[in-house]
Every structure is written in C-alpha cells, then in structure tokens.
Structure 1
Amino acid sequence: MSLLEPISHALAAVLAATHDALTTLGADPTAGATWLLCVAAVVVVLRLALLPVVVHGVRQAHAGARARPHLRELSGRLGDRPDAEALRRHLEERRRVSDEHGVSRLGCLPVLLQLPVWLALYHLLSDVASGTAVGAMGPGLVSSLGAASILGVTLAGSGYLGGGPAHLAVVAGLAVTAAALSYVTQRHVVARNTLTEGMPEAVLSVQQLMPALSALGLLVAGGVVPVTLLAYWVCNSAWTLGQSVVIARWFPTPGTAAAAARG
C-alpha cells in the first residue's frame, strides 16, 4: 500500500458520497454538471479541512514580520568574522527573539504536509478519468464519470486538438480560466501581501516571474491532462483566489503593501 492510497480512498469516498447525494436530490447521475459539482465538493471539503494549516501560515507570516527587524539588528551586531562563542550567543539570541514573537521552529513543515493530500487528489482524479476504480469510486461510478460530458466533450477527454471546435473551446476555456485565476492570485493578491524587504535581488526576480511561469505551466498541462483535472484546477484556483483576498484584506502581513492599503 502506498502512502497516498489511504488519502486517495478517503477523497474517493467524498466524491462518491457527493454523487449519491446529488442523485438522491434528483440530479442526472450521468450528467457532466453532476460530476463537476462532485469535483467542486471534494475541493471544498479538502480546503475546509486544511484551514487550520492556512491559519497557522498566516500567524507565522505575522510573527516573522514582527521578528524581522529585531533579527536584522542582531545580524548587524554579529560582525564580519565572528568567533565560535559569538556565533553561539547569536543563535541563542535569535531563538529568544523568535520565541518572543511566536515564530515556530517547525518552519514550513505544516505547509509541506499538505503535499501528499494534493498529490493524492491529483492521482485520484487522473485515475478515475482514465477508467481506473479507486476505493468507493467503483467501476460503475468510474464509467459514469468517464462518459459524462460538457458541451459534448467527455470528462475523460484531453488535449487541445483532435476533437473539433467544441472540444478545443472547452479544454482551452478551462485551461485559460485556471491560468488566469492563478496569475491574478499570485501577481495581484499574494505579491501585495508578501514581505520583500531585505530579500536578495535574485529571489525578488524569481518571485516576480513566478505568476507568469505558473500560468504558463497550467496552459501547457491543459493540453495533456483530462478535462476532469482541468475542472478541479479551476475550482481549486477560484478557492485560492478568494481565500487570498480575504487574508490580504482582513489579515494582511505587517509591513506589506496590503497592510498599508488597509491602514
């Protein structure tokens, strides 16, 4: 059993349960709209479950911003050629300052713990779109999802070309929407709520390129992944944009442009 399998099975149970619930309420069990709502429901459930990690990240960003001036002052007092004793005292003082401001020693570990969850969801949607049963998503449900369509384009379909104008319009529309949402989130929301003071020039340059590179990556991937995954990316990107706007508007990181705009 792989590390991702239990997570994939749990997410498959949410996907199947949502489909059953919608069908009970009268939705067409084979309709593309029904399955798109199921994918959106999985995204919502997962993002709600991960909110504690988001809250931790916001608190750590605030703590790091409060501690940064004091840590910079300590670095300035260290000198160019510190001896072993000076380094020891410096590290102790840094730990003290970090503890005072609530900076966690775990760093970004809680955020990294999300990666297996997102990988499991990616593999789940990819597998069921290719016709592979996963946990509660048995052969019947997998067949239903694969045959479901949007404007005549099946959720298992992929690629920009070869399926006619409708196919191109659906695939390109979903890919462009996901890419646009990602770009706007990173370039116009997250960037304004990121503390860049004291950052090396090279890091700043890479950071400025990331929104465009991320959007380009989604456009390229849009030509090879199933429509189901594109729909998931759109739903997930929309949630990320909304969540980022809420954080930047009401819980901005001190010292950022977002905090200055809030006053």
Structure 2
Amino acid sequence: MLDFIYYPVSFIMWVWHQVFGFLLGDTSGIGWALSVVFLVFTLRLILYKPFVVQVRSMRKMQEMAPEMQKLRKKYANDRQKLATEMQKLQQQNGANPLMGCLPILVQIPVFIGLFHVLREFKPGKTENYFFDAAGNASFVESNFFGSKLGAAIWPLQNTSGVEEIGGNYVSQWIVMVPLMIMAGVFTHITARHSVARQQAQIAAGTAPANPQAEIMQKLMLYVFPIGVVVGAPFLPLAVLFYWVANNLWTLGQQWLVYKKIDAEESVKQEKAAESAKALAPRPGQKPVRRNGRSAAEEIREIADEPPSAEDVAAADAADASPKGSDGASAEGTATGTNGSSSSATNGNGSNGSGKKSSGGGTKKPGSKPVNRGAKSKRGKRR
C-alpha cells in the first residue's frame, strides 16, 4: 500500500550500505548504522530548501499577524469573506501557511517507511523491498557492539525480538540506554532552540502571544523527549540512530538558516534606515506644510483673493517659523490677512450690514483665532 515510500527509503539505505560495506565490511554493524545515519542526512539535505522556505514563510506570517487580527475583527460574522481576505493578504505578502508544515509532514512518512523496512529484516527472508536475500542476511547477521540493529527489547507486532535474531539483552541494553538518553536530550535541545526564538519574537513585538502555542511549546520541551525515552525499548535499535541523527541535523540546520536570515534582515533594516535618512529634510530646509501646501498657499485659500505684498511678506515669515504649520505664527498671519482685506473694503471693519467682520484686523483679548479651514466673510460675499 505504501510501497511508494518503502522503496525510495530502502533504495537510499541500500546505496549507503554499498559505500560503507565496501569500506568496513558487508556485515559490519557500524556500516549499517552509518547507512541509517546517512539516510537521514540525504533526506534532510533534499528537504533543506523547503525548510528555508518554511522559515521565511513563518516570518512573513508573523509580520502579517496585526493585519490578520484586524481582518478577524472586521469579518467576525462573515467566515467566507474572512477566508477570501486572508488569502488575498497572504498572496500580497508572498506567504503560504502550508509551507510551515511541509518539512515536518514529509518527515513523518520517511520515519514510517524506515520503521517498516527495518522490521522486515528477518532471518530467512529472500527480499526486503530494494534489498535481496544477501542484503537481508547481511543486516540480520550484523552486530553493533554485540547488539542487533533490527531488534527491539520489547517488540511490538511484526517487530523482531532480540533472541529471534540471535542477540542478547545485556548487550542490547548497554547500547540502547546511551542512545535513549541522547535521543531525549537532543530532542529537548532542538525544541528549546526553536521555543527560545519564538519567545524572543513575542518579547520584541514581532509575533503575537498565543496560549495554544505556549501549550505546544511545553509539549515540545518535555513531553516529546520523555516520549522518545519511554518508547525506545519498543522500537528497533536502528530507529534510535535515525532519531539522534535527525535531531543533530535539525539543530545545526536551524542555527545555520536562522543566522543567515537574521543577517539578511539586518541588511534590509540598515538600507531602510539609510533611505529614510536620505529622504529626511536637511537642517535649515524650509519645511513642507499641511498636505504639501505652504503657509502662503493656505492663506490665499482662506482669504479667497490674491494676497497683498504685506501678506506675502507675512506668509514668508510664517514659513520660516517653526510654528508655521500649526502654531501661532501662521494663525496670526491668516488673521491679519483677513482683517486687512475686510478693513480695506469698508474702512471700519464692517461688512456692509453694520455687523463687524469676523476677520477684523485687531484681535481682542480672549477672542478665538480664525478658523483656518473656513473662508472669510469677504470671500463668501464674492
């Protein structure tokens, strides 16, 4: 049923056994153990590129977390719209949530395939997928410091026991116990390295806190390593070599890939800082006012008429002032402009109906400043 997994796994293991069997001997237990180890290295090397894509995709998903949270609130009652907007956001940022799980999903069938191939090495079998009768006999007869790589101390169904393939329990325990401890320790170290990065990202604010993720982190740190140690006697000894090699590769790969990606992020941040610095106004440069308009342009809009020479001079003074955008200089200039225009028209600051214009040239104590967004009454009359 799963031959499409069993045959590739057995083929890679067969290739490496040809290499180490030539160097160390066809029935060498060390050669067979190295065949399992380099089977792991070969598969992980094939999965190196997907792992890098996984890390980058996870980074992008973390950067998108605030936007995704906004979408969840906005479309809380419309699941279909939420899914559409989420997909659109991921496409715009080049993120793919499935890539975060791909390397792990691929390793699961590989482990299943190796476990199945190892337990099929039994006395008297004429073939084991890519291995012929001679290859099967070579594995059964091999010894790794007196232990049998294909035997389990407490065998499960269809798994060979120690006595079944000519081993002894003392040698099996002597070899298995150190491997059990190494498998548990390296599993814990690998998980701790990954969890430490996640916690650092949460502390830096680049990733949101997630209670479910915290539960998974505790499982990775303690439950999984204990599970490896407890389950080791039920598995063929060669599976422990697979587990130790896989965790060592993962630890080294995480260190290398994260270091590379962190360096790339640092370069991007430095370039962004240099660009922002280059676009910043120079010392003494006239600042641009609201929406790109200078104070003089705002005054013309408020007055709704061409300013006089005095108005232009006052506007230039406001532009040179630090408060020209929002402070009192621009406001006072605007007031003076409206006041002078109204007074010049009527002579007494009135608007023709006997009412005093709101833009009078003299600002009374306690009076409110002219509203910059509104036109003068003279502008409305025109």
Q: Does the pair score TM above 0.5?
A: yes
From the superposition, tell whether residues 110 and 205 of structure 1 become closer, same or farther in structure 2 (CA, over 3 Å): closer
Aligned pairs (5 A) from 1:39-188: 39-76=36-73, 78=74, 84=78, 90-104=82-96, 106=98, 108=100, 110-111=102-103, 112-128=105-121, 133-159=127-153, 163=168, 165-187=170-192
Q: Which moved more, 1:104-113 or 1:168-177?
A: 104-113
2:54/2:99 contact within 8 Å kept? no
Which secondary structure state, in structure 2, belongs to the residue aligned with residue 154 of structure 1?
coil
1:212 aligns with 2:233: no
Question: In the alignment, residue 190 of structure 1 is paired with which amino acid?
Answer: S
Question: In the alignment, residue 167 of structure 1 is paired with which amino acid?
Answer: Q
Distance 2:212 2:82 in 1: 26
Question: In the alignment, residue 19 of structure 1 is paired with which amino acid?
Answer: H
* Corresponding residue for residue 232 of structure 2: 222
* Corresponding residue for residue 244 of structure 1: 254
Distance 1:226 1:130 in 2: 15
Higher RCO (CA-CA < 8 Å; seq separation 6+): 1
2:71/2:86 contact within 8 Å kept? yes
1:129/1:155 contact within 8 Å kept? no
TM-score by length of 1: 0.80
From the superposition, tell whether residues 105 and 164 of structure 1 become closer, same or farther in structure 2 (CA, over 3 Å): closer
Which 4+ runs in 1 deviate beyond 6 A?
none
- Equivalent pairs counted in the alignment come to 246
Distance 2:122 2:41 in 1: 20
From the superposition, tell whether residues 92 and 11 of structure 1 become closer, same or farther in structure 2 (CA, over 3 Å): closer
Distance 1:190 1:209 in 2: 13
1:152/1:166 contact within 8 Å kept? yes
Question: Which stretches in structure 2 are left out of the alignment for 5+ residues?
Answer: 155-161, 266-382
RMSD: 3.0
Which secondary structure state, in structure 2, belongs to the residue aligned with residue 251 of structure 1?
helix
Identify which of 9, 12, 15 aligns with 1:14: 12
- Identity across matched positions, percent: 22
Deviation at 1:105, TM superposition (A): 6.2
Q: Deviations over 1:118-139 (max 9, x none)?
A: 3222222232368753222122
Q: Which structure has the greater CA radius of gyration? A: 2
From the superposition, tell whether residues 140 and 91 of structure 1 become closer, same or farther in structure 2 (CA, over 3 Å): closer
Question: Which stretches in structure 1 are left out of the alignment for 5+ residues?
Answer: 256-263
Deviation at 1:6, TM superposition (A): 2.4
Question: In the alignment, residue 195 of structure 2 is paired with which amino acid?
Answer: A
